[in-house]
Structure 1
Amino acid sequence: MRLHGKVAIVTGAGGGVGRGIALALAAEGADLVLAGRTPASLDDCRREIEALGRRALGARCDVGVADDLGELVAATLREFGRLDVLVNNAAFVPHGTLLEISEDDVEAALRTGPLAALRLMRLCHPHLRGGGSIINISSAVAVAPSSNNRGVYAAAKAALNAISRTAANEWGPDGIRVNVLMPFARTEALDRFLADEPDYAATLTSGVPLGRIGDPRADIGAAAVFLASSESGYITGATLPVDGGLAYIR
């Protein structure tokens, strides 16, 4: 129980990587605040966490709305009285070439990605001082040599990486660690991608050196537990690919 007594916020916790991370944190003793736009999926995750013997609060939250983020932090403090871990996972994922993509999608990617993460990090900062951990969820597309049809998404994640490194430097003296995970895992979004772009998807998945797609809880969640726990107490400003080698080896 490496996280016994800790309280964590996970955005986008209703499914995919967010749900996997939330369940992994709970399995190691953390209580959870589950943020997302779909109450039914949050309720499902909450019940799974409670079955593990931990407390969980579902909080409807659109990360692109500043007032929702403020209420999310306030609800966390009302329910648990503390905050130890923040996982910024939720974000809009845009697709399209730079000539085709709409400005609305560009704005949504930036508003729900790096801007939302920065807003929530700033709101949580006073409550994370003295030992808190921030884990921002990025993507290998941010460092890929080619990001055709995903240039805006890559830009949003690259901005998140840069903000995370800066926060690690500026907030280190406050006792707050800030790290980044770049996952590749079997999620609902990946399944849609595999169905919509089978040729590109086949090339991508066949290029994973470890030969499999990661599991949101067993693989990505385990890495998040490590970064949230005291075992990584001397690690900050790191960008960790949890993708079977996809980001840097291919």
Structure 2
Amino acid sequence: MTTLAGGGQERVLAGKVAIVTGSGQGVGQGIALALAGAGAHVVVCGRTEATIDATRTEIEARGARALAVRCDVMVPDDLDRLVARTVEAFGTVDILVNSAMVVPAGTLLEISEEAVAAGWESGPLAALRLMRLCHPYLRGGGTVINVSSSASVNPSTHSRGVYAATKAALNALSRGAANEWGPDGIRVNTIFPLASTPALRRFAAEEPDAMADVIAGIPLRRLGDQETDIGAAAVFLASPASSYITGAILPVDGGAAYVR
């Protein structure tokens, strides 16, 4: 088995080119690192240069190729530039991961119009725009992985109704693209991740009792690792091992979405 330094994964994606939005931290970063560990060239993008540069540096330290592109997914010109820079550097796009999103929090009566708009603009609308931009390069074997949430199917969405709605829209867009783009040889799948991210670790520090309730609601009784659990699932969905899978939702959450 051929491995990258620090990677430990078979190079099932050797030579593939991946764009991962929101990959400066959290789930997006974990997916970017895992794809690089499987041999992909990774375009790291996000709004904060320091974080995307840190991810790029870590990928390169493991012996893989990476490009960091500052990008606000709510700005169409930034998305155009992201795809153009990717094609200029690597020639194509084989894998697109839509992970970036501004989380709109608050009850339906209290949440601001600005927060609602940011959720839609950064979530399903940005994903659709980027999917359309990448479509010509994804034809003939490319894959899209959209990062959704179990909130989209959870009957309890107190203070998360708008967030749940944006993720449900992303699920629907993913199914639509899987149907429409299957004849083009493009697979589109969705994941529900639950991982130990910086935001969740802050939540655990601030509200340990609430965090204990979260863990108790996970059948496997632990949070996932953003690289070895969530990232590994993304590698599978981007690899030939999943070549007959499209339009699916894969919960990578220890059973939290459907088992509890």
TM-score by length of structure 2 reads: 0.94
Structure 2 equivalent of residue 89 of structure 1? 99
Per-residue CA deviations over 1:55-98 (Å, capped at 9, x if unaligned) read 10000000011110010000000000111000000000121111
Deviation of 1:142 after TM superposition, in Å, equals 0.6
The one-letter amino acid paired with 1:131 is G
Picking from 158, 161, 166, the partner of 2:168 is 158
Q: Secondary structure of the residue that 1:108 maps to in structure 2?
A: helix
C-alpha separation between the residues in 2 aligned to 1:137 and 1:49?
Answer: 21
Query: 1:218 is aligned with what amino acid?
Result: T
Q: Does 1:226 align with 2:247?
A: no
Q: What secondary structure, in the 3-state scheme, does the structure 2 residue paired with 1:178 have?
A: strand
- AA aligned opposite 2:99: N
Superimposed CA distance per residue, residues 25-46 of structure 1 (whole angstroms, 9 cap, x where no aligned partner): 0111000100101111111111
Find 1:105's aligned residue among 115, 132, 145: 115
- 50, 53, 73: which one pairs with 1:63? 73
TM-score by length of 1: 0.98
Q: Which runs of 5+ in 1 are unaligned?
A: none
Q: CA deviation at 1:217?
A: 0.3
In structure 2, what is the equivalent of residue 245 of structure 1?
255
C-alpha distance in structure 2 between counterparts of 1:90 and 1:66, whole Å: 14
Match of 2:211 in 1: 201
Q: Which amino acid aligns with 2:119?
A: A
Q: Deviations over 1:138-192 (max 9, x none)?
A: 0111110101011100000000000000000000000000000100000011123
Moved more, 38-47 or 154-163: 38-47
Report the secondary structure of 2:258's partner residue. helix
Runs of 4+ in 1 over 6 A off after TM superposition: none
How far off is 1:199 after superposition? 4.2
Structure 2 residues not aligned, in runs of 5+: 1-10
Cα distance in 1, alignment partners of residues 62 and 99 from structure 2: 22
Within the alignment, does 1:17 sit opposite 2:27 as a pair? yes
Query: Which residue number corresponds to residue 5 of structure 2?
Result: none
What CA deviation, in whole Å up to 9, does each residue of 1:207-244 have, x standing for no partner?
11001100000000000000000110000000000000
Supply the distance in 2 between the matched residues of 1:67 and 1:198 (Cα, whole angstroms).
Answer: 41
- The letter of the residue matching 2:113 is E
Letter in 2 for 1:92: V
* 2:201 aligned to which of 180, 191, 194: 191
Counterpart in the other structure of 2:183: 173
Q: Which residue of 1 aligns with 2:141?
A: 131
How far apart are the structure 2 equivalents of 1:164 and 1:234?
16
Are 2:150 and 1:140 aligned? yes
Higher alpha-carbon deviation: 47-56 or 123-132: 47-56
Partner SS, residue 240 of structure 1? strand
Question: Which amino acid letter does the alignment assign opposite residue 106 of structure 1?
Answer: V
Using the TM superposition, give the Cα deviation of residue 54 of structure 1 relative to its aligned residue in structure 2, in angstroms.
1.2
Tell me: CA distance 1:65–1:13, structure 2 relative to 1, closer, same or farther (3 Å): same
Deviations 1:110-152 (A, max 9, x none): 0000000000000000000000000000011111010101110
Residues in 2 aligned to 1:233 and 1:109: alpha-carbon distance in whole angstroms = 31
Equivalent in 119, 125, 128 of residue 115 of structure 1: 125
RMSD: 1.0
